[in-house]
C-alpha cells in the first residue's frame, strides 16, 4: 500500500512539474530527441568548436541517474556514422567537437548522444561551411540595423570557448586587407552614415593545444535614413487659357514604401515559463518580397543585442527563414533561452525590424510561472491517492464473510441422515 501511494506521488509530481518525465520529447531508437541546435555557419581554414547548449540543458533538467556515461559525437553522411576521438584534426572533448581547422567537407549534421543503462538523450546540430564570407554574406553575417546619426558599437561575438593569445583583434570592412582601428576589441562608428553600410569582419588569433588558429566573425550593417519616396511625372494635356498659361502641366504622384509589420508576437505579450525550463520565441515579420533580403529582424534583451546582454551564455538568436504568404514575404527569426532563472523575471524582450520603408518594434516581457497552483494540484491528487488506498485497505479488512458459504459448512458438519 505504501509503495502504491509513493508511486502516485511520484507520477503526479513529475507529470505536473516536468522534472524527470519527458512527455514533450520525441523518442527514436530508444533515445529522447532534444530540440535541434541553431545552425552554425563558418568559414573554412578557421578553428570551429561545435557544442550543444540545448542538448546539455536537457540533460541538466532531467536529473539523470547513475551510472554515468560518456558523450558520443558522430556525423551522419547519409550512409554511415563516424565517431571521433580526442586527437587529430577533428577532436572530441566531452560534449564538444573541435575542428582544427575546419574544411568545406566538414559541412553536415552532427549528433551528440548520452546513454547509460537507464537513460538516453540525443541532440543534433548542422554545420554549414563556406569558402569565404563573400560566398554567402547573408548566411555568414550577423544582421545589424542603424539609422543615420546613431552610434554603432560592434563586439566580436560567439568567442567564449576560445583562448585568446593576447594579440589585438583586427576589424575589416567589406573584406579589405587594411584593418580599421587596429588593436581595439570594440569597433565604434559614431554618427553613422549611409556610406558606412557594409560587412564588418573581426579577425583574431586563438590558442588551442598550444597551437595558433584563426577565427573571425562578421556583421552586415544596414544604415537607414529618412523614409524614401518614389516620384513619377505624368504629363497632362490642358487647353490654353490665355497668355502666359502653359499648354501642359505635370502632376507628381508620390508613393511611400510600406514599413515591415511584426505579426507575432503582439506588443505587450508576457511569456511565462517555469524555473529551469527552456523557452523558444519567434518573431514573424511580413514585408514586400522585393525588400525581404534587406529587411533586418533582430531580438534585443533589455535594449541590448543578445551578445552584449546578460543572457549571452544562455540564449541564442537563430537564423532567419523567409516564406511567401499571400503575395508578400514572411521573415521568421527564432530566439532560444536554454533555461529560465529568477534573474529573467521582468526581462524586456524586444523584436525590432527595419528596411527602407520604415521601422517597427514590439516589446514583450519574461515572467516566471507561479508554481503555487502546481503544488496545490500535486497535494490534492496525492491526498486522493492516499484516501483511495485507505478505503481499499479498510474494505478488504472488514469485508463480511459469505453467509451462504457458512451455512454450507455447518450443514456438512451437522449432517447425520443418509439416503
Position 82 scores a pLDDT of 65
Range of the domain at 163: 136-224
Q: Kindly state whether residues 270 and 356 are assigned to the same domain.
A: yes
Position 378 scores a pLDDT of 63
> Which of 110-119, 189-198, 200-209, 401-410 shows the lowest mean pLDDT across its residues?
401-410
The domain boundary, picked from 100, 130, 160, lies at: 130
Position 256 scores a pLDDT of 55
Task: Specify if 244 maps to a domain.
Answer: no
Q: How confident is the model at residue 227 (pLDDT cuts 50, 70, 90)?
A: very low
Task: Specify if 2 maps to a domain.
Answer: no
The predicted-structure confidence for 147-180, as pLDDT tens digits, reads as follows 888 888 888 888 888 877 777 888 888 877 777 7
Residue 125, pLDDT above cutoff 90? yes
Residue 282, pLDDT above cutoff 70? yes
Residue 102, pLDDT above cutoff 90? yes
- The stretch 224-243 carries a mean pLDDT of 47
CATH number for the domain that contains residue 338: 2.60.40.10
Q: Kindly state whether residues 146 and 184 are assigned to the same domain.
A: yes
Task: Specify if 14 maps to a domain.
Answer: no
Using CA atoms, how far apart are residues 329 and 171, in angstroms rounded to an integer? 34
Residue 352, pLDDT above cutoff 50? yes
Q: Kindly state whether residues 36 and 67 are assigned to the same domain.
A: yes
Q: Kindly state whether residues 208 and 274 are assigned to the same domain.
A: no
Q: Kindly state whether residues 215 and 142 are assigned to the same domain.
A: yes
Task: Specify if 16 maps to a domain.
Answer: no
Comparing CA positions, the residue from 160, 156, 165 lying closest to residue 209 is 165
Q: Kindly state whether residues 110 and 161 are assigned to the same domain.
A: no
Q: Kindly state whether residues 74 and 97 are assigned to the same domain.
A: yes
Comparing CA positions, the residue from 134, 178, 176, 173 lying closest to residue 154 is 173
- The stretch 262-287 carries a mean pLDDT of 85
Q: How confident is the model at residue 251 (pLDDT cuts 50, 70, 90)?
A: very low
Q: Kindly state whether residues 162 and 77 are assigned to the same domain.
A: no
- The stretch 337-341 carries a mean pLDDT of 86
Cross-sheet strand order for the sheet of 48-50: 48-50, 96-99, 90-93
DSSP secondary structure code for residue 106 in this structure: G
Q: Kindly state whether residues 353 and 273 are assigned to the same domain.
A: yes
Using CA atoms, how far apart are residues 54 and 336, in angstroms rounded to an integer? 9
Three-class secondary structure of residue 231 per DSSP: strand
CB 194 within 8 A of CB 125: no
Residue 351, pLDDT above cutoff 80? yes
The predicted-structure confidence for 109-119, as pLDDT tens digits, reads as follows 999 988 877 77
Task: Specify if 44 maps to a domain.
Answer: yes
Q: Kindly state whether residues 304 and 349 are assigned to the same domain.
A: yes
Using CA atoms, how far apart are residues 7 and 2, in angstroms rounded to an integer? 9
- The stretch 257-281 carries a mean pLDDT of 83
The domain boundary, picked from 368, 383, 408, lies at: 368
Q: How confident is the model at residue 401 (pLDDT cuts 50, 70, 90)?
A: low
The two beta strands, 71-76 and 81-83, are antiparallel
Task: Specify if 5 maps to a domain.
Answer: no
- The stretch 198-211 carries a mean pLDDT of 88
Position 374 scores a pLDDT of 53
Domain count, the chain: 3
Using CA atoms, how far apart are residues 363 and 347, in angstroms rounded to an integer? 10
Position 160 scores a pLDDT of 80
The domain boundary, picked from 203, 224, 245, lies at: 224
The predicted-structure confidence for 44-101, as pLDDT tens digits, reads as follows 999 999 999 888 888 877 665 556 778 888 887 544 556 677 788 999 988 899 999 9
Task: Specify if 240 maps to a domain.
Answer: no
Position 181 scores a pLDDT of 64
Q: Kindly state whether residues 56 and 115 are assigned to the same domain.
A: yes
Task: Specify if 379 maps to a domain.
Answer: no
Greater model confidence, 35 or 383: 35
End-to-end Cα, the chain, rounded Å: 52
Check residue 262 and give left, alpha or beta (phi > 0: left; psi -120 to 50: alpha): beta
Across all residues in the chain, what is the average pLDDT? 76
Using CA atoms, how far residue 289 sits from 224, 330, 331, 349, 398, in Å, is 18, 8, 10, 26, 78
Position 127 scores a pLDDT of 93
The predicted-structure confidence for 2-14, as pLDDT tens digits, reads as follows 344 434 434 444 4
Residue 126, pLDDT above cutoff 80? yes
DSSP 194-229: GGG-EEEEEEEEEEETTEEEEEEEEEEEEEE-SPPE
Q: Kindly state whether residues 198 and 154 are assigned to the same domain.
A: yes
> Which of 73-77, 240-244, 254-258 shows the lowest mean pLDDT across its residues?
240-244
Amino acid at each position: 500500500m505504501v509503495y502504491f501511494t509513493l508511486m502516485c506521488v511520484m507520477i503526479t509530481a513529475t507529470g505536473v512539474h516536468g522534472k524527470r518525465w519527458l512527455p514533450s520529447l520525441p523518442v527514436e531508437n530508444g533515445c529522447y530527441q532534444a530540440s535541434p541546435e541553431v545552425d552554425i555557419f563558418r568559414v573554412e581554414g578557421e578553428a570551429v568548436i561545435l557544442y550543444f547548449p540545448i542538448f546539455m540543458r536537457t540533460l541538466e533538467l532531467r536529473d539523470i541517474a547513475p551510472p554515468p556515461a560518456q558523450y558520443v559525437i558522430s556525423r551522419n553522411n547519409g550512409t554511415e556514422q563516424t565517431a571521433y576521438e580526442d586527437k587529430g584534426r577533428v577532436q572530441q572533448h566531452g560534449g564538444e567537437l573541435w575542428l582544427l581547422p575546419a574544411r568545406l567537407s566538414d559541412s553536415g549534421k552532427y549528433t551528440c548522444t548520452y546513454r547509460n543503462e537507464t537513460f538516453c538523450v540525443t541532440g543534433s546540430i548542422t554545420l554549414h561551411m563556406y569558402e569565404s564570407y563573400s560566398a554567402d554574406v547573408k548566411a555568414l553575417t550577423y544582421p545589424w540595423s542603424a539609422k543615420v546619426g546613431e552610434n554603432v558599437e560592434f563586439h566580436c561575438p560567439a568567442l567564449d570557448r576560445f583562448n585568446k593569445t593576447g594579440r589585438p583583434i583586427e576589424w575589416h570592412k567589406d573584406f579589405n586587407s587594411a584593418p580599421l582601428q587596429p588593436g581595439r576589441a570594440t569597433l565604434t562608428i559614431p554618427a553613422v552614415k549611409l556610406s558606412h553600410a557594409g560587412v564588418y569582419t573581426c579577425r583574431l588569433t586563438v590558442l588551442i593545444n598550444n597551437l595558433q588558429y584563426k577565427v573571425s566573425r562578421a556583421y552586415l550593417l544596414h544604415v537607414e535614413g529618412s523614409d524614401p519616396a518614389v516620384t513619377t511625372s505624368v504629363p497632362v494635356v490642358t487647353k490654353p487659357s490665355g497668355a502666359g498659361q502653359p499648354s501642359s502641366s505635370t502632376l507628381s504622384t508620390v508613393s511611400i514604401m510600406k514599413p515591415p509589420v511584426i505579426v507575432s508576437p503582439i506588443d505587450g505579450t508576457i511569456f511565462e515559463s517555469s524555473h529551469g525550463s527552456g523557452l523558444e520565441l519567434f518573431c514573424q515579420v511580413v514585408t514586400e518580397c522585393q525588400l525581404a533580403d534587406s529587411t533586418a529582424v533582430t531580438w534585443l534583451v533589455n535594449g541590448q543585442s543578445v551578445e552584449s546582454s546578460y543572457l549571452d551564455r544562455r540564449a541564442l538568436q537563430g537564423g532567419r527563414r523567409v516564406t511567401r504568404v499571400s503575395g508578400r514575404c514572411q521573415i521568421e527569426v527564432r530566439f532560444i533561452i536554454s533555461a529560465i532563472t529568477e534573474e529573467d523575471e521582468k526581462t524586456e524582450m524586444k523584436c525590432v525590424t527595419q528596411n527602407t520603408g520604415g521601422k517597427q518594434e514590439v516589446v514583450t516581457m519574461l515572467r516566471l510561472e507561479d508554481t503555487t497552483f502546481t503544488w496545490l494540484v500535486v497535494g490534492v491528487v496525492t491526498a486522493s491517492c492516499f484516501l483511495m488506498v485507505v478505503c481499499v485497505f479498510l474494505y478488504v479488512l472488514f469485508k463480511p464473510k459469505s453467509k451462504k458459504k457458512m451455512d454450507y459448512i455447518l450443514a456438512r458438519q451437522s449432517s447425520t441422515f443418509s439416503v
